Structure 1
Amino acid sequence: MEIWAKSGSEYRHSTVIGQGSKNAALPLIIASIFTARRSILKNVPVELEDVGAVISSLEWLGVTVQRTNNVLSIDATTLERSNLPSQLSSASRYSLLFLGGLVGRCGVGKVGPPGGCQFGRDRGFDFHQLVLEQFGCELHQEGEWLIGRLAEQKAHEVTLPFPSVGATLQAIIFLTASNRSGIIHNAAIEPEVMDVVDFLNKSGCDINLQGDRSFSVSGYPGEGVTHAVPADRIHIATVMAYSVISNTSSVIQWDSPIDISCLTSTFSALGISVVPDPNKLRVSVDFASAGNKLDVIADVYPGFPTDAIPLVVAATIRSGQHIRFYDKVFRGRNNYLQEFVKLGAKVTIVSDREFIVDGVASLTSSDVSANDIRGSTSLLLAAIQTKSLSRIKNARQISRGYERLPLELKDKGFNVHVKNFGLNPVNKRAHLLG
């Protein structure tokens, strides 16, 4: 899949339907099959490639999944298998979460190597292994398979070396699926984690946040529930970014809001103001309030999300601002920056966590590509600032994270065309303007 894009001639106010959060939907879908009941999830971004991959994994395991628009009805009364082969597991990083749940429910689980975005050196299995083995899951590897078996619980309290979202979810899902109790210290408390906690508590578990970053977990998820996936805060950050680029306001309509306080202070320094209403979010641009120098530091929640850093790069690449970026979450998540240099950006790499961007007057068209969702998205947001067509190769990465982004940019007034759209029918309606 490729996207060809360039700037438009006239930009306009636009209204956007806020999509359900991918990072909340994926663990919710996985957790739902360990309730052993029928659950209904609303506001699921079903068009996303990663979501489709996880649904395919459920069906392989013997779960009945019915789709009606953005609503999933999931019947996990019985499981036919406890293994997830590589052709399914490699489609998403979240496939790792199946391991603890399968072991907890079935006594044994086998999962092939996980996929997902390829960046940094901080995406290993170590933290997942720590919580699983301490809470009573015996692990070993055979060829490409990660294999777990239910074993005696070694500890009732585990402290994570870093508040990892994946390892926190792994621990919660394993403990509840195996009906065990435990405490997770230094846990991640991102909104997506809290949403899974809310879902499991509705289904009969007793999970409580103690202090700042400790979860006490007990109870078995024995009840099916109806639950709405919250709005995607990274999609909201993307709307903010292209609102800055077009210097126009936007309205984001949502059914299930999410806390976006982690975004507002950084984007306000770019000239973005946000006014939340009960069913929508108003985004307006005021460049007079933007500063000339800015530090953007990504950190675990409630800090600025690491996924939003590439979006800010694209939004400020022609701003004339001097911006320092530092990522406390992932090292080496900056491979996409060399693609920005092809477009004429001025980027200085300081370390595998830090880089500096000095805004330039204009960008030049080029062929660019990245191997992760947000890097590819940031390149698309850069391409819509070039006067002649730029090509984003490997743009299927964007369809892993966004349901309608090419259409949103078209509605805003940018020139966008999707080629070789493959299996993502939403993108078939995007056009090249002019």
Structure 2
Amino acid sequence: MGSFIIEGINNLEGIVEIGGSKNAALPIIASTVIVGREYIIENIPDIEDVRMMFEILSSMGCKTQYDNGIALIDTRELNTHSVPENLVKKIRSSIILMGAVLSRTGNVEVAFPGGCEIGLRPIDLHLKGLRKLGAEIHEKNGILFGSVNNPKGCEIQLDYPSVGATENIMLFAVSAPGNTTIYNAAKEPEIVDLQNFLNKSGFSVRGAGTGTIVIEGKKNEEKDILEYKIISDRIEAGTYLSAASSLKSKIYIKNIEKEHFKSITSLYEDAGLEIRETHETIVVTNRGRLRSLEKVSTQPYPGFPTDMQAQFMASMATANGNTIIEETVFDSRYKHVPELKKMGADITTVGRVAVINGVPRLYGAEVDSKDLRGGAALVIAAIGAEGTTKVNDIYHINRGYEKFMDKLRSLGVIITEI
């Protein structure tokens, strides 16, 4: 799966441009199957998960082209409601196709999804919402079979503001007659982007970004070519901000929507990073060792995102003092901890709580990337570590970061891939 070799103690300086949002691109790509038409979508990140989603669409009869951030998608010739099991096992977000394919064809067959192993991520809320809208769903040998004869809008109360469940319900409800209201909906910016895309597609969705989303269900027969540009990736921006925490640094992070990651910048400011905002750019300056924070808990948006937990832990590993991190979203998202400890980090975990006793310096070692964000955290740790670090299984990192090595090199990181 490849490895990164990183020479440590890299002071960072330079400009990094953030690409399109992975977590916005995947559901928007999935939603193109709802209406058979041609789409031109800009700011699509060049990452493995996107390529896998294109492969899934192509296997179902759709046509996809991708070049320099622009995707051309033609879903007019969708010829099956069966999503290939071998591809679904590789990408978690493929489950979003369930609502979209049901919306288009009235039937769907899809395996339980794969992706990073970061703990239990049940899709009960997805299925509960789709069933309330009129879908009949049963499971056999790891395959979900869904059908719908008389869909109708309804009120859906989510037990938890799940991003995936909110998206799946939206994608099915847009073509279910009547109004659907989702209560306790996820509020992430990526949900707002999906709403904006659906509305530009001719549907009617309002309320995204709040806890209540209202969808006016209707059949949409518009066939004109649709053009859209997705938002930038707030987690990618946060990851480069984290990288600046390793040593003395001054970096410019461009092409961002600053409001989307206030919870990230505010924590790092509390820890001692200097962050100055300009138009679509932030300037991050680190003048020395960060200070620890008493306690940080991951939360649904607008709280501190679980997708930044590992990177923040890498930053706190060399902070001055002790930090407690509580992971409230996933139950097994500390697989990077044993790898950080190989580099000299002093971290203790009990259930979903991690206690980080900051040490003055980490040291190069051979470590294994277990998942996307944990892998990025190991690279961040390696940048400030003394000596050489080998990060294995970088396939996980490339799933979600566009040109990661090239962008780090532009900031002065000595990194090669083998």
Deviation string, structure 1 residues 58-110 (Cα, Å, up to 9, x no partner): 11111122223110121222311111111111121111111121112111111
Q: Residues 333-372 of structure 1 correspond to what in structure 2 (within 5 A)?
A: 333-351=333-351, 353-372=352-371
C-alpha separation between the residues in 2 aligned to 1:12 and 1:114?
A: 38
CA offsets, 1:121-145, max 9 Å, x none?
2x01211111011111110122232
Task: Give 1:48 deviation, angstroms.
Answer: 0.5
Distance in 2 between residues matched to 1:342 and 1:132, nearest whole Å: 45
Give the corresponding residue for 1:267. 268
**1:321/1:144 Cα in 2 relative to 1: closer, same or farther (>3 Å)?**
same
RMSD: 2.0
* 1:30 partner amino acid: A
> Which whole-Å CA distance do the structure 1 matches of 2:159 and 2:89 have between them?
26
Change over 3 Å in CA distance of 1:180–1:150 after alignment to 2? farther
Calculate the TM-score normalised by the size of structure 2.
0.93
* Deviation by residue 1:158-178 (Cα, 9 ceiling, x = unmatched): 111100000000000011144
- Amino acid of the residue matched to residue 341 of structure 2? V
CA distance in 2, matches of 1:365, 1:68: 37
Segments of 5+ residues of structure 1 without an aligned counterpart are: 420-434
> Residue type matched to 1:7 in 2?
G
Q: Taking structure 1 as reference, are residues 210 and 415 closer, same or farther at Cα in structure 2, changes over 3 Å only?
A: closer
Task: After TM superposition, give the deviation of residue 149 of structure 1 in Å.
Answer: 0.2
Against the structure 1 CA distance between its residues 33 and 155, is the aligned structure 2 distance closer, same or farther, given a 3 Å change threshold?
A: closer
1:168-199 per-residue CA deviation (whole Å, 9 max, x = no partner) reads: 00000011144553111111010011100011
**What's the CA shift for 1:235?**
0.6
In 2 relative to 1, CA 67–265 (structure 1 residues): closer, same or farther, beyond 3 Å? same
Structure 1 residue aligned with 2:184: 186
Matched-pair contact (CA < 8 Å) for 1:296–1:309 = no
Q: How many residues are treated as equivalent by the alignment?
A: 414
Q: Distance in 2 between matches of 1:333 and 1:255?
A: 26
**CA deviations over 1:258-287 (Å, ceiling 9, x no partner):** 622222211111222333333433222355
Instruction: Rate the CA distance shift 1:29–1:15 in 2: closer, same or farther, 3 A.
Output: same
Residue 238 of structure 2 is matched in structure 1 by 237
Distance 1:282 1:182, change over 3 A: same
Relative to structure 1, the CA distance from residue 211 to residue 167 in structure 2 (aligned partners, 3 Å threshold; closer, same or farther) is closer
In 2, distance between residues paired with 1:370 and 1:255? 27
Relative to structure 1, the CA distance from residue 177 to residue 115 in structure 2 (aligned partners, 3 Å threshold; closer, same or farther) is farther
Higher mean Cα deviation, 290-299 or 228-237? 290-299
Aligned partners of 2:35 and 2:104 also within 8 Å = no
Q: How does 1:364-383 map to 2 (within 5 A)?
A: 364-383=363-382
Letter paired with 2:174 = T
Give the corresponding residue for 1:423: none
TM-score (normalizing by structure 1): 0.90
1:255 shift after superposition: 7.4
Counterpart of 2:251? 250
CA distance in 1, matches of 2:208, 2:347: 42
Match of 2:77 in 1: 78
Contact kept? 1:37, 1:222, Cα under 8 Å:
no
Q: Is the 8 A contact 1:4 1:416 kept in 2?
A: yes
Partner of 1:113: 112
